[in-house]
A and B are shown apart, each in its own frame.
Chain A
């Protein structure tokens, strides 16, 4: 969708795109690509609002880097590399993500030419976020995918190896095993019945171990609201689990034993299992805050 020339000129100035000698027509193409990606612009006012809200300076810099402008590239490296490396170290304190960060530069620079044109990863940047956030997201995506791939390829530990999970010291009593399975199944159903937003909040907090503040930021709510909503959701889940267990025909005593079967399982945590969750790990407490 073509964008009004005056608007392009205004945004071009706003982006300081002349600093990187980005041709106006190329900048206009980037704006159009962004609007097309977002499917924005059913009405001209909406399109203008969308374009004005973009991270225009970063978009101009990305245009220049994609076109191979040396000064832009140098600026980009100086500006972004410290953050990219810090992000890589945060993802993998052992340094395993730094190679991912380094490999990004080759793709960003665009070594492969197609039809005489530089194909850079920058073409996927549309200015809806800052360049820093976008780079972190690309890095996070690569990191997560590599972890998932490695997990699929990872062989089961040899029984004799030190990595093999220890066998339980004592066999689980059949009755307790039954209760454990029952409560796990009912919990699964209870969670499935929740609205997506509540499931997302649970996933952020329990699976990804985000803080309340991080969870709230992601969901666009205050951390206190996240805390309240988590408490409400937990109550709803518990009520649902209890209801299902009663409907299943369990007596009050048996329901109590179901819950007890979980608390009895409070042995030392298996770090390997916890860390195995894609990129996340950790546990939480009812009142975890930022």
Chain B
């Protein structure tokens, strides 16, 4: 019973409990003002000023909360891109850059891209499902993807090391581009529609393979073919692991949800317009699955599982562990399978009343 791993888990649990317990620290002279906090976030602090700030925040509950609040706004604020004066070519930059990133990923990362957020076997399963569901026009891609998986299985340790070095940066870049794209969609709905439909022919096939094979945060932005792959999966109620801002498309593509941080939005016109949907949850959401136009499951950090059965109102589904959740698959309101960030899978067949490890 008392294994080393269990002791480690006990320490983790204690850390969460003790560090999250509210502490009655008041404001002191050492507390960071907003200007200093902003300077820290933007890299404007250095030397003694930075050390002083870090030392203070290490023990100040209020300043820690401010740092946490800043981090929570990072995902939705993304790049400080103004709404005004977009150059005509600028909307094309995102999908083209994403496509280029996908090509780089395709060429430079031969190995499998397993990350702690999604176990390798799940990635392979996901890849196989995606391959089986690719539209006919993408018929050559499953072979490429499968070949890539086989190559990955036989890759050397050097290639894996290279993969580990390259993948995080690409993931970050792609995540940034995705957030940027969503931001533009909000700012100008009409150009966003054009952005989704126009560059279909220009998107390299590799984007599909990369989307299907890449783990967690590696969801490429806006490329219609990638969107198609996502749709194909959601038609079976299966939506892959996606972190950051992302869309969960129901079997009817007009009905979709998107998540960014803890914010959930709902669209009934294929993503042309969005309406915020309150969930009452502050935890960051990481993935979702929409097996029907009214049913959607969302998962997030800290064991957060949300379910809507009318498309708009959400209820918290009890989950037996406080752990980050990275993926969910669902077939209806009762049956869902949730992946934890450390690779375990728990399933429910009674709407979350009971969960079983698989």
Chain A contacts to B: CB under 8 angstroms: 37-38, 53, 55, 78-79, 82-83, 86-87, 89-95, 124-126, 128-130, 132-134, 136-141, 143-145, 147-148, 151, 183-184, 187-188, 191, 196-197, 199-200, 202-204, 206-210, 213-214, 218-220, 223-224, 234, 237-238, 241-242, 256, 259-260, 262-263, 265-266, 268-269, 271, 273-290
Specify which chain B residues have a CB less than 8 angstroms from the CB of A183 in the assembled complex.
10, 14
CA distance A200 to B279 in the complex (A): 30
Q: Which residues of B contact A219 (CB under 8 A)?
A: 54
Bound Cα distance from A234 to B72, whole angstroms: 25
Asked if B59 lies at the interface with its beta carbon under 8 angstroms from chain A, I say: yes
Shortest C-beta distance, B310 to chain A (Å), equals: 18
Is B168's beta carbon under 8 Å from chain A? yes
Is A269's CB under 8 angstroms from B68's CB?
A: no
The answer to whether A279 touches B65, judged by C-beta atoms less than 8 angstroms apart, is yes
Closest Cβ of chain A to B346, distance in Å, is 13
* Contact indicator B262/A271 (Cβ below 8 Å): no
Is B16 an interface residue, CB under 8 A from the partner? yes
- Cβ–Cβ contact A207 & B8, under 8 A: no
A to B CB contacts below 8 Å, 30 in the list: A93-B279, A95-B276, A128-B39, A128-B42, A129-B38, A130-B42, A130-B80, A132-B77, A134-B34, A137-B70, A140-B70, A140-B73, A187-B14, A191-B19, A206-B19, A209-B68, A234-B11, A259-B7, A263-B13, A275-B282, A280-B64, A280-B68, A280-B69, A282-B300, A282-B304, A283-B16, A283-B322, A285-B324, A290-B168, A290-B172
Instruction: Say which one of B142-150, B189-197, B313-321, B328-336 lies at the interface with A.
Output: B313-321
**A-B contact number at CB 8 A:** 303
Cβ A208 vs Cβ B64 within 8 A:
yes
Contact B20–A207 (Cβ < 8 Å): yes
C-alpha gap A241/B61 in the complex (Å): 23
Which residues of B in the span 43-94 have a Cβ within 8 Å of any Cβ on A? 44-45, 49-50, 54-55, 57-59, 61-62, 64-77, 80, 82-84
B214 at the interface (CB under 8 A from A): no
By a CB distance below 8 angstroms, the chain B residues around A128 are 35-36, 38-39, 42, 44-45
Closest Cβ–Cβ distance, residue A125 to chain B (whole Å): 7
A197 contact set on B, CB distance < 8 A:
54, 58
* Residue pair B67, A218 in contact (C-beta under 8 Å): yes
- Whether the Cβ atoms of A188 and B68 lie closer than 8 Å is no
Task: Please state if A89 and B1 are interface contacts (CB–CB under 8 Å).
Answer: no
Are A262 and B13 closer than 8 Å at their CB atoms?
A: yes
B35 and A125 form a contact (CB under 8 A): yes
Distance between Cα atoms of A202 and B200 in the complex (Å): 45
Minimum C-beta distance from B38 to chain A (A): 4
Other A-B contacts than A86-B77, A208-B68, 12 sampled, CB-CB below 8 A, are A82-B186, A191-B15, A200-B57, A237-B15, A274-B302, A277-B65, A282-B304, A283-B302, A288-B116, A288-B341, A289-B116, A290-B175
Q: Is there contact, CB below 8 Å, between B7 and A87?
A: no
Interface contact A93-B282, CB-CB below 8 Å: yes
Interfacial chain A residues near B42, Cβ < 8 Å:
55, 128-130, 133
Q: Is B12 interfacial (CB 8 A cutoff)?
A: yes
CB-nearest residue of chain B to A83: B77
A274 to B9, CA, bound (A): 18
CB of A287 within 8 A of CB of B10, answer no
The answer for the CA separation of A213 and B77 in the assembled complex, in Å, is 16
The answer to whether B65 touches A278, judged by C-beta atoms less than 8 angstroms apart, is yes
B217 at the interface (CB under 8 A from A): yes
Pairwise interchain contact B22-A276, C-beta atoms closer than 8 A: yes
Q: Which residue of A lies closest to B168 (CB)?
A: A223
Question: What's the least CB distance linking B324 to chain A, in Å?
Answer: 5
Asked whether B198 is an interface residue with its Cβ less than 8 Å from the other chain, the reply is no
Are B18 and A285 interface neighbours, CB within 8 A?
no
Find B280's partner among A89, A90, A94 (CB 8 Å cutoff): A94
B261: Cβ under 8 A from any A Cβ: yes
B interface residues, tally (CB under 8 Å):
99
Contact B62 A144 (CB under 8 A): yes
Chain B residues with CB under 8 Å of A278's CB are 22, 61-62, 64-65, 68
CB within 8 Å of A: which of B281-336? Answer: 281-284, 300-304, 316, 318-324
CB contacts (< 8 Å) of B263 on chain A: these are 89-90, 93
Question: Which B residue sits closest to A144, measured CB to CB?
Answer: B65
- Whether B14 pairs with A184 at a CB distance below 8 angstroms is yes
The interface bits of chain B over 246-278 (1 if a CB of A lies within 8 angstroms of the residue's CB, else 0) are 000000000000001111100000000000101
CA distance A197 to B41 in the complex (A): 16
Complex CA–CA separation, A148 to B61 (angstroms) = 10
Q: How far is the CA of A277 from the CA of B281 in the complex (A)?
A: 13
Question: Does B223 interact with chain A (Cβ within 8 Å)?
Answer: no
Which parts of B166-192 form the interface with A (CB within 8 Å)? Answer: 168, 171-172, 175, 186-187
Determine how close the nearest CB of chain B comes to the CB of A109; give it in whole angstroms.
Answer: 17
Query: Beyond A256-B2, A260-B1, is A266–B321 a contact (Cβ under 8 Å)?
Result: yes
- If A90-B73, A289-B216 touch, whether A129 touches B41 (CB-CB below 8 Å) is yes
Partner of A93, one of B59, B70, B264: B264
User: Known contacts A78-B84, A218-B40: does B341 contact A287 (CB below 8 Å)?
Assistant: yes
Q: Enumerate the 10 nearest inter-chain pairs by beta-carbon distance, A residue then B residue, closest first.
A: A208-B68, A287-B116, A278-B65, A283-B322, A282-B302, A128-B39, A129-B38, A140-B69, A283-B302, A128-B44
Chain A residues with CB below 8 A from B262, complex form: 90, 93
Q: Are A259 and B76 in contact (CB under 8 A)?
A: no
Write the nearest CB–CB distance from A273 to chain B, whole angstroms.
8
Is B243 in the interface zone, CB < 8 Å from A?
A: yes
Q: Are B66 and A144 within 8 A (Cβ)?
A: yes
Residues in B neighbouring A137, C-beta threshold 8 A: 34-35, 37-38, 41, 66, 70
How far is the CB of B41 from the nearest CB of chain A, in Å? 5
Residues of A within 8 A of B33 (CB): 124, 141
B121 on the A face (CB < 8 A): no
B225 to chain A, nearest CB (A): 25
